[in-house]
Amino acid sequence: MTIVKTGLEVLVARNFSPIRHKRVGLVTHAAAVDSQLRSATDLFAQGPIHLTTIFGPEHGLYSQ
pLDDT in tens, the chain (64 residues): 888 999 999 999 999 999 998 999 999 998 999 999 999 999 999 989 999 999 988 888 777 6
CA dihedral over 10, 12, 17, 19, signed as positive or negative: positive
Q: What does the alpha-carbon distance between residue 7 and residue 62 come to, in Å, rounded to a whole number?
A: 22
